[in-house]
Each structure stands twice: as structure tokens, then as C-alpha cells.
A and B are shown apart, each in its own frame.
Chain A
Amino acid sequence: TQLLEQSPQFLSIQEGENLTVYCNSSSVFSSLQWYRQEPGEGPVLLVTVVTGGEVKKLKRLTFQFGDARKDSSLHITAAQPGDTGLYLCAGLPRAEKLVFGKGTKLTVNP
């Protein structure tokens, strides 16, 4: 079974601070995705990283896929209250079967 470990599990910060969330596995994934989920809603895809060492930027969010394709990180610069949510990483052993981590619950306080 391929498992994804996310850390930290909970993170509470002040508006304007920077943060990094980690996603680690002992298994290699063909690609990895990051999702954001708000209460009462389904996850929404933020990014897909495919190539080892790849870095993608989405406004204040920077995503990195490890060289060995076993780990990934999400860095948020100058966090805002609107960034509050559950951040999930998901590995794709193949496109049809996502394997999710437990998530990082982020709270950004004004």
C-alpha cells in the first residue's frame, strides 16, 4: 500500500506569515497533486506536478516535486485568511486512482 504522510497536521498562523507544508512517501509516484478543501465541499485541484525536481508557482503558492518523486512541498508566501482550509496531497500511482494524505488543516488569522 502506498502511503503519503503530510506534516504538519495542523497549522495556525497570522496573516502575512509564510508557511511550508510537506508530503512524504516511501513510494515513487508517477505524479502528485495538491488539493484544497473547505468545510462541506469537495477537494479542488490546485496543481499537478509530474517531473522530478519540478517547481510550479500559482500566485503566492509554490509547489515542488522531489527529485526522486517521493515527496513534495507547498509553500505559501504572505498567507491571507482566504488561504484557510484543508490542504491535501495526492499521489497518482496512475491517473485513475488517487492516494491521498491525511491533510494539513491551515488556519490564517487576520
Chain B
Amino acid sequence: GAGVSQTPSNKVTEKGKYVELRCDPISGHTALYWYRQSLGQGPEFLIYFQGTGAADDSGLPNDRFFAVRPEGSVSTLKIQRTERGDSAVYLCASSRGTGSYEQYFGPGTRLTVT
């Protein structure tokens, strides 16, 4: 079946603008994760959803970042008042649910803030 898909694959925006990044998880996967990967770094955890609710949002860097998953499937990561330091690859992953060790990653969205 289809893997995790993310759109757009690339996003260039100006400092101060608002952006939305979308993640479509594997069908049937109840858990969804967002990570951020800066150049030369490993992925950094942002937020985890189990179903529709954010079970752990401790990785969100500040209140400019927000994520939703209203129907328990597709998720949107929203960044307000973007800053140049937000430039990174934003990765989404999904898994079968709580306690599942295997997360399946999408290809990521490369965000560039100019």
C-alpha cells in the first residue's frame, strides 16, 4: 500500500509569513509523529498524536508551532511568523499505535525561510 506522503515537498517562504505542512499517514495507522531535521543533524521530535489528540507536544519549540489532526488521519503542522531558524526538513511518521516500535517516515517537506 501507499506509504506516508507529505506535501509540499519544498516550500520557500519569506520571514514572518505563515506556512502549513501536510502529512498523510499510512491507512489504518493511529499514531502520527512530526520531527524536524536541520542540516547535519538527526531528526528532532516535535509532537506525537494518538488518534485525534496530541499525546505529547513537548518537542514544539515555541507557541509559533501548532499541529492538528482533526479526523485522526491527515495532520497539518502550522508555523506562524516564520523565522530563518525554522528552515529545516520537516518529517512526518506514522505507526500502528501506542507501543508500536516501528515508525514509517515520509520523504519530508524542505522548508526554506528567506
Contact = CB atoms under 8 A, between A and B. Distances in A.
Contact of B42 (A44, A45, A96, A103): A103
Contact of A42 (B45, B98, B106): B106
Given A42-B4, A97-B56, A98-B43, 6 more contacts: A33-B101, A40-B107, A43-B91, A95-B100, A100-B43, A100-B44
Contacts of A88: 42-43
A95 B105 contact: no
Contacts of B107: 40-42
A95 B98 contact: yes
A95 B101 contact: yes
Nearest to A42: B105
Contacts of B21: none
Interface string B93-104: 101001111111
Interface of A is mostly: strand
Contact of B102 (A40, A41, A45): A45
Contacts of A97: 45, 48, 56, 59
B26 to A, nearest CB: 12
Given A42-B106, A96-B31, A31 B42 contact: no
B56 A96 contact: yes
Contacts of B41: 102-103
